Chain A
Amino acid sequence: MNKVRIVLIVVVALFILLGLGLFNLQIIRGGKNRELSNKNCIRLIPQLGSRGIIFDRTGTTIVDSRISYDVMVTTLNSQETDKILSEVARLLGADFKNIKAAYKKNYLSPSLPVVVSRNIDLKKAIALEEERIDLPQITVQPRPVRNYPYNSLGAHFIGYLNEIDRWRLTRLADYGYKTKDIVGFGGVEEKYDYYLRQEEGGLSVEVDHRGRMSRTLGFEPGINGKDIQLTVDLKVQKLVDKALAGRKGCVVIMDPNSGEIIAMSSSPAFNPEAFVEKNNPLVASYFKNSDAPLINRAISGVYPAGSIFKVIVAAAALETKKINLSTTFVCPGKMLVGRGEFKCWSTHGPQNLIQAITHSCNVFFYHTGLLVGPEAIHDCALKFGLGRTTGFELANESSGFIPSPMWRKVNKFKNWFDGDTANLSIGQGDVQVTPLQVVRMISVFANGGYLVTPYITKAVDNKDMSRYRKKSVKLKLNPQTIDAVRKGLRGVVSEAAGTANVLSGVGVEVAGKTGTAQAPPGLAHAWFAGFFPYKEPKYAICVFLERGGPGYYSSVVAKEIIDGMVKEGLI
Chain B
Amino acid sequence: MRNSYLTILITALLIVSLGIISIYSSTYQKEGKPWEDIYKRQILWVIIGLICFMFISNLHYRRIWDWTYLLYALGLFFLFLVFTLGLVRMGAQRWLKIAWFNFQPSEFLKLIIVIFLARYFSSKSVSDISILSGKFGITRGIIIPFIFVAIPALMIIEQPDLGSGMIIIMLFLSLLYLTGVRLRYITIFFILALLPLPFLWHLLHDYQKQRLLVFMNPNIDPLGAGYTVIQSKIAIGSGWFFGKGWLSGTQSQLHFLPESHTDFIFATFAEEWGFLGSVVLVSLYFVIVYKGFSIAQKTNDFFGKLLAFGISLMFAIQVFVNIAMNMGLAPVVGVPLPLMSYGGSSVLCTFIALGILVNIDRTRAVF
Contacts and interface: CB of A to CB of B under 8 A. Distances in A.
Given A7-B178, A15-B282, A37 B238 contact: yes
A529 B60 CA distance: 119
Contacts of A209: 254-256
A211 to B, nearest CB: 10
A26 B240 contact: yes
Interface in B209-266: 223, 231, 233-241, 250-251, 253-256
Nearest to B223: A77
A214 B274 contact: no
B174 interface: yes
A478 interface: no
A37 B250 contact: yes
B223 A76 contact: yes
B79 interface: no
B236 A26 contact: yes
A471 interface: no
A77 B221 CA distance: 11
A33 B250 contact: no
A41 interface: yes
B237 A208 contact: no
Given A7-B178, A33-B238, A37-B235, A214 B293 contact: no
A3 B177 contact: yes
Interface string A1-25: 1011001100110110111011101
Contact of A22 (B251, B286, B327): B327
A36 B251 CA distance: 10
B275 interface: yes
Contacts of B286: 12, 15
Contacts of B239: 26, 30
A34 B237 contact: yes
Contacts of A18: 282, 320, 323-324, 327
A11 B289 contact: yes
A208 B289 contact: no
Contact of B254 (A11, A31, A32, A41): A41
B275 A214 contact: no
A132 interface: no
B234 A36 contact: yes
A207 interface: yes
A25 B255 contact: no
B123 to A, nearest CB: 17
A546 interface: no
B316 A11 contact: yes
Contacts of B223: 76-77
B286 to A, nearest CB: 5
Interface in B293-323: 293, 296-297, 309, 313, 316, 320, 323
Given A11-B289, A37-B235, A27 B240 contact: yes
Interface residues of A, number: 37
Contacts of A11: 289, 293, 313, 316
Interface residues of B, number: 43
B329 interface: yes
B236 A34 contact: no
Nearest to A40: B256
Contacts of A21: 323-324, 327, 329
Contacts of A27: 240-241, 275
Contacts of B320: 14-15, 18
Contacts of B160: none
Contact of A40 (B234, B278, B297, B324): B234
Nearest to A35: B238
B29 interface: yes
A567 B297 CA distance: 114
B240 A34 contact: yes
B240 A37 contact: no
Contacts of A214: 29, 253-254
A454 to B, nearest CB: 59
B236 A25 contact: yes
A33 B249 CA distance: 13
B348 interface: no
A111 to B, nearest CB: 12
Contacts of A41: 250-251, 254, 256
Interface in B87-139: none
Contacts of B329: 17, 21
B270 interface: yes
A189 interface: no
Contacts of A29: 237
Contacts of A37: 234-235, 237-238, 250-251, 256, 271
A92 B241 CA distance: 49
A24 to B, nearest CB: 8
Contacts of A76: 223
Contacts of B275: 22-23, 26-27, 30
B289 to A, nearest CB: 6
Contacts of A1: 297
A19 B286 CA distance: 11
B184 to A, nearest CB: 15
A260 interface: no
B145 interface: no
A30 B282 contact: no
Given A7-B178, A14-B316, A25 B250 contact: no
Nearest to B316: A11
Nearest to A1: B297
A76 B255 CA distance: 14
A319 interface: no
Contacts of B334: none
B279 interface: yes
A269 B317 CA distance: 80
A206 interface: yes
B143 to A, nearest CB: 21
Contacts of B254: 40-41, 206-209, 214
B236 A7 contact: no
Contacts of B279: 19, 22
Contacts of A36: 234, 237-238
A25 B233 contact: yes
A22 B278 contact: yes
A79 to B, nearest CB: 10
Interface string B261-293: 000000000110011001100100110010001
Nearest to A27: B275
Contacts of A14: 316, 320
A226 B241 CA distance: 47
A22 B282 contact: yes
Contacts of B177: 3, 7
Contacts of B271: 37
A77 B237 CA distance: 24
A204 to B, nearest CB: 13
In this complex, the member of A14, A32, A207 whose beta carbon has the largest number of chain B beta carbons within 10 angstroms is A14
A29 B278 CA distance: 15
Contacts of A30: 237-241, 275
B31 to A, nearest CB: 11
In this complex, the member of B236, B254, B313 whose beta carbon has the largest number of chain A beta carbons within 10 angstroms is B254
A1 B305 CA distance: 12
A28 B308 CA distance: 37
A176 B270 CA distance: 41
Contacts of A19: 279, 282
Nearest to A36: B234
B180 A3 contact: yes
Given A15-B286, A36-B238, 17 more contacts: A4-B297, A7-B178, A11-B289, A11-B316, A14-B316, A15-B285, A18-B320, A22-B279, A22-B327, A26-B240, A26-B275, A33-B237, A33-B238, A40-B234, A41-B256, A77-B223, A208-B255
Q: Which 4 A-B pairs have the closest CB atoms?
A: A33-B237, A37-B238, A208-B254, A30-B240
25 contacts: A4-B296, A11-B313, A12-B286, A14-B320, A15-B282, A19-B279, A19-B282, A21-B329, A22-B270, A25-B236, A25-B327, A26-B241, A26-B270, A30-B238, A31-B240, A34-B237, A36-B237, A37-B234, A37-B250, A37-B271, A41-B250, A41-B256, A207-B254, A208-B255, A209-B254
